Amino acid sequence: MTLKSNPCLSELIRPEIQKMTAYHVPESTGFVKLDAMENPFPWPDEMKAQWLELLSKAEPNRYPDPSARELVFSLRDCFDISPELGVVLGNGSDELIQIILMAMNEDACVMAPTPSFVMYQHIANSLGLPFIGVPLNEDFSLNVPEMLSVIKEKNPAVIFLSYPNNPTANLFDDADLLAILKASNGLVVIDEAYQPFARKTFMDRAQDYEQLLVMRTVSKLGLAGLRLGFLVGHQRLTSQFEKIRLPYNINVFTQITAAFAFKHISTLDAQAAVICKQREVLLERLSSLKGVNVFPSDANFILFSLLSDSAERVFEALKQAGVLIKKMGNVPGLPAECLRVTVGSSSENKLFIEQIASIIK
Ligand SMILES: Cc1ncc(COP(=O)(O)O)c(C=O)c1O
């Protein structure tokens, strides 16, 4: 049968989507994977055995609990979330960004500093919401006067602040965040994806500001495969988001596994502490290489720039040597020739340093 192609089909798709490029995730099989801010450590054998025992009782033939009550209960306990605040679960925090933006009015605009997490703009674009990026200062701090002026002129419906920021790895100044929070009539989402490594949070202020939403993910803590994020805020807001969250967005296995992992949070916290120690070692070793400018990090990754070499060339040579890191490309607001490396285990970091030291000019 010959397929008849219909020239009008593509016109069904909104023009802003036709202009977008899909989010690209490189093939990583067989590489030392230092590109996606994952936790490199497996669980202790006994913990793994207990988990498998629990999973064996799962019922994949049944829909999951749509409200994931047991998971929410253990999550509230584990992260000390006030019973007065609402919690919305997402299939990763990516989905929470989508839920927040889907709930906004048609004429809403979205603001975030740039560079920051690409999904804020990607999802705003996909929903046809204008995105205003306010460049960071040269030291990667927030340009507060400029952000306040955008707030005054454009009244953004949602402001995303990644704390610490991806890809620059720094924590913004608390006073700067508070100035934005106080000035904004729209929602302010503090995205604490890297909180396990920064140990700073706005969670304890969530009750004080009605427009504040604190977003977390368990991905960086060591559960990236589960796809689980959570959003905490006043129930007046979270109850609205609940209406558009798809009923079974957190699957049976994620619900069981995350609730189990939260009961063993000390193991994950201990792994995060090892990663923080490794980060210091890696920062020191990278800084000692000639031609490398390393930026400070409060997260589980490090941004660095090359002073006399090409990021593309070094990235490819590292790949040839079996080490996958992240090529930043031409991101406005970042110095030229930037690369980002995730902090791995001590042997992974050692291999990365040995390889990059032999590659770099
Ligand atoms: C700042 C920030 N927020 C959110 C996410 C997405 O996390 P999740 O895996 O929960 O979708 C990332 C992932 O890299 C991130 O860097």
The residue whose CA is least distant from atom 12 of ligand 1 is 193
- Region 243-271: mean pLDDT is 97
What is the per-residue pLDDT for 1? Answer: 64
Q: Is the pLDDT of residue 11 over 90?
A: no
- Residue 192 near ligand 1, beta carbon < 6 Å: no
Which numbered atom of ligand 1 lies nearest the CA of 219? 9
Q: Please give the distance, rounded to the nearest whole angstrom, from the Cα atom of residue 1 to the centre of ligand 1.
A: 44
Tokens of 220: 């960086």
236 forms beta bridges with none
Average pLDDT of the chain to the nearest whole number: 96
- Residue 115 near ligand 1, beta carbon < 6 Å: no
- Residue 217 near ligand 1, beta carbon < 6 Å: yes
Q: Is the pLDDT of residue 5 over 80?
A: no
What is the per-residue pLDDT for 314? Answer: 97
Under DSSP, the state recorded for 319 is: H
User: pLDDT tens-digit profile of 288-312?
Assistant: 999 999 999 999 999 999 999 999 9
Which numbered atom of ligand 1 lies nearest the CA of 36? 14
Q: Is the pLDDT of residue 193 over 90?
A: yes
User: pLDDT tens-digit profile of 114-149?
Assistant: 999 999 999 999 999 999 999 999 999 999 999 999
| 69 C-beta neighbours (distance < 10 Å), count | 11
What is the per-residue pLDDT for 311? Answer: 97
Helices 265-287 & 252-263, crossing angle to 10 degrees?
80
What is the per-residue pLDDT for 8? Answer: 77
Q: Is the pLDDT of residue 9 over 90?
A: no
Q: Please give the distance, rounded to the nearest whole angstrom, from the Cα atom of residue 356 to the centre of ligand 1.
A: 27
Domains of the chain: 12-43+266-359 (3.90.1150.10), 45-263 (3.40.640.10)
What is the per-residue pLDDT for 347? Answer: 97
- Residue 191 near ligand 1, beta carbon < 6 Å: yes
Q: Please give the distance, rounded to the nearest whole angstrom, from the Cα atom of residue 191 to the centre of ligand 1.
A: 8
Helices 69-78 & 252-263, crossing angle to 10 degrees?
30
One-letter amino acid at 150 equals V
Q: Please give the distance, rounded to the nearest whole angstrom, from the Cα atom of residue 224 to the centre of ligand 1.
A: 10
For the chain, how are helix, strand and coil distributed in percent, rounded to 5?
A: 40, 15, 40
- Residue 91 near ligand 1, beta carbon < 6 Å: no
User: pLDDT tens-digit profile of 74-110?
Assistant: 999 999 999 999 999 999 999 999 999 999 999 999 9
Q: Is the pLDDT of residue 12 over 80?
A: yes
- Residue 162 near ligand 1, beta carbon < 6 Å: yes
- Residue 39 near ligand 1, beta carbon < 6 Å: no
DSSP run (H or E) holding 48? helix 45-55
What is the per-residue pLDDT for 10? Answer: 80
Q: Pick from 123, 131, 65: which is nearest to 96 by CA?
A: 123
8 A C-beta contact, residue 86 and residue 237: yes
- Residue 257 near ligand 1, beta carbon < 6 Å: no
Q: Name the pLDDT band for 259 (thresholds 50, 70, 90).
A: very high
Percent of the chain residues topping a pLDDT of 70: 99
Q: Please give the distance, rounded to the nearest whole angstrom, from the Cα atom of residue 228 to the centre of ligand 1.
A: 10
Which numbered atom of ligand 1 lies nearest the CA of 93? 10
